[in-house]
Structure 1
Amino acid sequence: MILDLFFPDRCIHCNRIIDAHLLVCNLCFDQIHFTHFSYDSNNPVKEKCRLLFPVENAYALMQFEKENLSRKIIHELKYRSREIAGKVLAEWVAERLDFEDEKPDLLATVPLHPKKQRERGYNQLHVFTEILSAFYNIPFDHHLISRNHYSKAQALKDKQHRLETGNAFSLTKNITGKHILLIDDVFTTGNTVATIAWEILNAGDNKVSVLVMAGDI
């Protein structure tokens, strides 16, 4: 309580004092570019995925644009230890996403390399996914996919380097006959989710859908 008085939570965009469970103030919230996509209809993320692998459905919560607020939110989550951002983003998804008859069987997160996760202290997708799992009553598996190589952050790579992810991921267990919702933070080239999707699709009679916090669309 005393710490709250001297070090109150502040909006990550304008620095106004806000409640502890928020990321941005009401004024700045209106500046977030939500996509308003429908999960089971055509949208830019789904169309990009279709060029790379057979995707069932795809959804991005926000647009990921240079210098926009969604980029700042995700950078707070990934690089500034603001794990609460994952909770807030999950709540925003739950307010907007209706699976209807396309509910997946399992939520699977894109993994960090163990060394990267030790450096960061957490995987930015775990809290996000666990809250969605509880809300939609869909099980999750943070360990279905393993990352085989340690590399620097995607944000620090040039575009060509981001395209080179061959043999980067593998499955840790046998799965078949499942509809997997693959969860990542940002969709840019789509190469990361495509690499993992093919591992899942080639493992058996599986289907893959995609959910990202933000899409570069």
Structure 2
Amino acid sequence: MILDLFFPNRCIHCSRIIDAKLLVCSLCFEHIHFTHFDYFGENIIKEKCRLLFPVENTYALMKFEQDGLSRKVIHELKYKSRENAGRTIAEWTSERLIFSDQKPDLLAPVPLHPKKQRERGYNQLHLFTETLSRFYDIPFDHELVQRNHYSKAQALKDKEHRLGTVNPFSLSKPVSGKHVLLIDDVFTTGNTASSIAWEILNAGDNKVSILVMAADL
């Protein structure tokens, strides 16, 4: 309480003082560009994924814009030690994403390499995933997918190009007969989703859907 008096939480966009649990004030919230995607319908993510792997359903909460508020939100989560932002983004998602009676069987976040997670102090997707798990009553597994290499994204891409078939991801355990909802923060090219999806699809009679906080459209 004393810290709140001297260091009040402020809106990440306009700097107004807001409740400690919030990221943006009510006025700035209106400037977040939500996608309004239909999880079961057609959207640009599904179109891109279909070119790379068999996908069931896809959903992005926000549009990822270079100068937009969604970028600031995710930047706070990933780089400003605002792990609790994951819970807030999950709450926004739960207000907009409806599974009806066709819920996936398992939630699986994209992993960080253990070294990267130690450096950051947390995986930015874990609290987001756990909050959605409780809301939708769907189990999650933070350990299902593991990242095999620690390197910068571009360096990893170059390494994969040189070695041809190296996949930076693998599964830590058998999984079969499951519809896995793969969770990530930002969807860009779809290469990360594809690398993990093929590991899941090749492991058994599985299906894969995609959920991201934001999509670079």
- Does the TM-score normalized on the shorter chain lie above 0.5? yes
How many pairs were matched up? Answer: 214
Name structure 1 gaps, 5 residues minimum: none
CA distance in 1, matches of 2:21, 2:166: 39
The corresponding residue for 1:102 is 102
Q: Deviations over 1:64-99 (max 9, x none)?
A: 011111111101101110011100000000000001
The corresponding residue for 2:22 is 22
Asked if the contact 1:182–1:193 (Cα under 8 Å) also holds between the matched residues in 2, the reply is yes
Structure 1 vs Structure 2 CA RMSD? 1.7
Asked if the contact 1:53–1:198 (Cα under 8 Å) also holds between the matched residues in 2, the reply is yes
Name structure 2 gaps, 5 residues minimum: none
Q: Which runs of structure 2 are paired with 1:171-182 in the superposition (5 Å)?
A: 171-182=171-182
- The amino acid of 2:23's aligned partner reads L
- The amino acid of 2:89's aligned partner reads L
Q: Which runs of structure 2 are paired with 1:1-217 in the superposition (5 Å)?
A: 1-152=1-152, 154=153, 157=154, 166-217=166-217
User: Which sits farther off after the overlay, 160-169 or 171-180?
Assistant: 160-169
* Identical counterparts, % of pairs: 73
Pairwise CA distance, 1:166: 3.6
Per the alignment, do residues 150 and 65 of structure 1 end up closer, same or farther by CA in structure 2, a change over 3 Å counting? same
CA distance in 2, matches of 1:82, 1:163: 32
Asked if the contact 1:109–1:126 (Cα under 8 Å) also holds between the matched residues in 2, the reply is yes
Per the alignment, do residues 63 and 25 of structure 1 end up closer, same or farther by CA in structure 2, a change over 3 Å counting? same
Q: Deviations over 1:24-50 (max 9, x none)?
A: 011110110100001000011111111
Asked if the contact 2:160–2:167 (Cα under 8 Å) also holds between the matched residues in 1, the reply is no
Asked if the contact 1:108–1:182 (Cα under 8 Å) also holds between the matched residues in 2, the reply is yes
- The amino acid of 1:76's aligned partner reads E
Partner secondary structure for residue 210 of structure 2: strand
Per the alignment, do residues 44 and 162 of structure 1 end up closer, same or farther by CA in structure 2, a change over 3 Å counting? farther
Segments of 4+ moved more than 4 angstroms: 160-165
Pairwise CA distance, 1:101: 3.1
